[in-house]
Amino acid sequence: MKSRFAPSPTGYLHIGSVRTALFAWIWVKKQKGAFILRIEDTDQQRSTQQSVDAILEGMAWLGLDYDAGPYYQTQRFERYQAVIQQLLDADKAYYCACSPERLQTLREGLIAKGEKSKYDGHCAHKNLTTGAVRFRTPTRGNMDFMDLVKGKISVNNKELDDLIIARSNGLPTYNLTVVIDDHDMGIDCVIRGDDHINNTPRQINLYHALGWNLPEFAHLPMILGSDGTRLSKRHSAVNVMAYRDAGFLPEALLNYLVRLGWSHGDQELFSIDEMIALFELKDVNKAPASFNPDKLLWINQEHIKQSNIDNLRSNLAWHLQKMQIKITPTPDINAVIKHLQERCKTLSEMASGVKMFYQDFAEFDPQLAKKHFKNKAPLISLQKKLTHLNHWQADKIKLIIKEVCTELNIGFGKVGQPLRLTLSGDGNAGAIDEVATLVGKTKTLNRLNKAINFQRF
Ligand code: GLU
Ligand code: ZN
C-alpha cells in the first residue's frame, strides 16, 4: 500500500496541510505501506526553495518520515510532455487557441444566462497544432466514485469542461501531473483535502483515457476557525513552525490534529502508536472540524506531564538555545525538568522555568520585592541556618524553613514567599524546598545575601 503527501511549496507549511499529511501517514503506517513525499512545484512563479525547506523542516520536526522522496515535479517535465503527446496522438486531447478575452466573454455570457461557466468546445475539431492542450472529456455518462470518507460521489460528465492539461507555454497543469505522478509512483490511496473533490472526477477521466488503474480516494473535511470560516491567521497561527516556537511537543500537536475530523469514542489523548492502532478512514467525519487553541494547549500540557524526561530534554533543547540558557552539569537538567514537568503548559514556559537554576538574574521584581522583602528577619534567619546545613536536601531545607517559622512565630508562606522571590527573582517557581535543593547551596546563599541587601529606593 502506498500513499503520499503532495504539498505545493508556495509558503510555509500550513497546519491544515499537516493534518492531511498526518492522516495519510497514519493510514500508511497502519498498513505497513510506504509514504511518499512529493513536492508539487510546477507553478514556478509561486514555488520557492524557502518554502520547500519549510516543508522538509516541518515534516522532520513532527517526525512524519517518508519512505521515498522528496520527488519534485519540476524534474519530471519530460515525462509529462510525453503523456501530453500520447493523449494528443490518440486524439484524446486537442490544441485550443482561444484567447483569454474570448474565454472571458464566453464565461460572462454563460453566467449572465444563469448557466455554469464551461468551455464550449470551440477548438475541439479544428486540428490546431499550437496553443493550450485540452483533454477531451467524455460528454456522456456519469462519473461515479466511492470516496472512503464521503461515500458515493456522482458527477454528470456533461458538467465537466474539456480541461486544460497544458498551458500555451507548454507547462502541464495540476490535474494532469497529479494523475501521472500518482500512477507512476504506484499510489493506491490518495488522501487529500476536500477542496480537491471537484478535481477528482476530472482526474478519473484522465486515468480512464490513459488506461491506468484507479487509486482509492479519501477526501478530508476542512478545518475551520471558531467563527466557522476556513482556518486562517485571524484564528490562530497556521504556520506549523509557530507551534514549535510556542513550545508545543510535536506529538501533542499531532494528537490535537488527529482529533480534527476523527474520533475514537471520547478519548482525547493518543500516543502516536495508539493513533496508528485505532485510526480508521471510515471513522473520519464528513463535516468540517473546528480549531480550538485552548484544547491544543490542554493536550500539550497532558503530553508534557506524561512524557519521559529524555523526550522533554531533547525537545526543550531548541528553546534553551533560543533563549541562550546554558546548561551546566549541576544541577542535573533531568531533575530540573522533572521538577517543572507538572507545572508547564508549554516548553517555552519550561525553558523560562529552567533559567533560574543556571543563571543569576539581574534584579528582583520591584513590586514583589516591596512586598516580600519588607521584613528581612525571615531571610536573615534562613541565611544563618542554611549556612550550616551540610546535607543539602529538600527535607532538610523544609525543616529549616519550619524552624524559622516557629522561631519568628509566622506562617510558612511568610518565609516561603520571600525565599521563592529570593531564588527566582520573579516569584515564579514551584515547591520551595525542591527549588532551593536544585539551585544549590552556593547560589542559594548568594541570592539570600542579595535579597538581604536589597534596598528600596
Ligand atoms: N499540490 C496539491 C495541493 O497542495 C496536492 C493535491 C493532492 O493531494 O492531490 O493542494
Ligand atoms: Zn479554444
Rounded average pLDDT per 10-residue block, the chain, 457 residues: 97 96 98 98 94 98 98 98 98 97 96 92 97 94 94 93 95 97 98 96 97 98 91 90 98 97 96 98 93 96 98 98 97 98 97 96 94 95 97 97 97 96 95 97 97 84
Q: What pLDDT, on a 0 to 100 scale, did the predictor assign at position 236?
A: 86
Nearest-angstrom CA–CA distance, 188 and 72: 19
| C-beta atoms surrounding 65 within 10 Å | 11
Last residue of one domain, picked from the residues 166, 200, 220? 166
Ligand 1 nearest-atom number relative to CA 195: 10
- Among the listed residues 297, 249, 191, 314, the one whose alpha carbon sits nearest the alpha carbon of residue 62: 249
391 within a domain of the structure (yes/no) = yes
What single DSSP character describes residue 114? T
Strands (E), 79-187: 93-96, 132-135, 142-147, 151-156, 164-166
Cα–Cα distance list, 265 to 218, 262, 274 (Å): 22, 10, 13
Same structural domain for residues 330 and 375? no
Q: Is the CB of 199 under 6 A from ligand 1?
A: no
256 within a domain of the structure (yes/no) = no
Q: Is the CB of 178 under 6 A from ligand 1?
A: yes
Q: Would you call 262 helix, strand, or coil by DSSP?
A: strand
| C-beta atoms surrounding 451 within 10 Å | 23
Same structural domain for residues 127 and 154? yes
Same structural domain for residues 429 and 350? no
422 within a domain of the structure (yes/no) = yes
Q: Which helix or strand (DSSP H or E) is residue 201 part of?
A: helix 199-210
Nearest-angstrom CA–CA distance, 448 and 92: 85
Question: What count of residues does the chain have?
Answer: 457
Going by alpha carbons, the residue nearest to atom 10 of ligand 1 is: 7
426 within a domain of the structure (yes/no) = yes
Residue with cell 497514519: 26
Last residue of one domain, picked from the residues 166, 195, 215? 166
- Among the listed residues 342, 236, 230, the one whose alpha carbon sits nearest the alpha carbon of residue 295: 236
Same structural domain for residues 84 and 104? yes
36 C-alpha to center of ligand 1: Å? 13
What single DSSP character describes residue 359? S
124 within a domain of the structure (yes/no) = yes
Ligand 1 nearest-atom number relative to CA 17: 4
Same structural domain for residues 349 and 418? no
192 C-alpha to center of ligand 1: Å? 7
Judged by phi (left if over 0) then psi (alpha if -120 to 50, else beta), residue 218 lies in beta
Q: Is the CB of 192 under 6 A from ligand 1?
A: yes
Q: Is the CB of 6 under 6 A from ligand 1?
A: yes
180 within a domain of the structure (yes/no) = no
428 within a domain of the structure (yes/no) = yes
pTM of the model: 0.94
Going by alpha carbons, the residue nearest to atom 5 of ligand 1 is: 6
311 within a domain of the structure (yes/no) = yes
136 C-alpha to center of ligand 1: Å? 23
What single DSSP character describes residue 172? B
Q: What angle, rounded to 10 degrees, do the helices at 174-184 and 77-89 form? A: 100
Number of domains in the chain: 3
Q: Is the CB of 247 under 6 A from ligand 1?
A: no
Contact 423, 436 (CB under 8 A): yes
Same structural domain for residues 339 and 380? no
Joined grid coordinates for residue 62: 513532527
Same structural domain for residues 344 and 380? no
Same structural domain for residues 325 and 403? no
Same structural domain for residues 344 and 377? no
**Which ligand is nearest the CA of 132, by number?**
2
Bridge partners of 142?
156
Ligand 1 nearest-atom number relative to CA 20: 8
7 C-alpha to center of ligand 1: Å? 6
Same structural domain for residues 410 and 331? no
Same structural domain for residues 89 and 144? yes
Q: Is the CB of 252 under 6 A from ligand 1?
A: no
Joined grid coordinates for residue 349: 514556559
Last residue of one domain, picked from the residues 102, 131, 166? 166
Going by alpha carbons, the residue nearest to atom 4 of ligand 1 is: 7
Ligand 1 pocket test target in 19, 73, 192 with most atoms within 8 Å of CB: 192
Q: What pLDDT, on a 0 to 100 scale, did the predictor assign at position 294?
A: 95
Contact 131, 93 (CB under 8 A): no
Print the domain residue range for 432.
366-452
Nearest-angstrom CA–CA distance, 255 and 265: 15
Burial degree of 192 (CB within 10 A; 0-12, 13-18, 19+): buried
Q: What pLDDT, on a 0 to 100 scale, did the predictor assign at position 457?
A: 52
> What torsion do the CA atoms of 300, 306, 310, 315 make, to the nearest 10 degrees?
0
Q: What pLDDT, on a 0 to 100 scale, did the predictor assign at position 257?
A: 97
Backbone phi, psi, residue 223, to 5°: -105, 130
Q: What pLDDT, on a 0 to 100 scale, did the predictor assign at position 226?
A: 87
370 C-alpha to center of ligand 2: Å? 80
Same structural domain for residues 372 and 351? no
**DSSP string across 393-451:** -HHHHHHHHHHHHHHHT--HHHHHHHHHHHHHSSS--S-HHHHHHHH-HHHHHHHHHHH
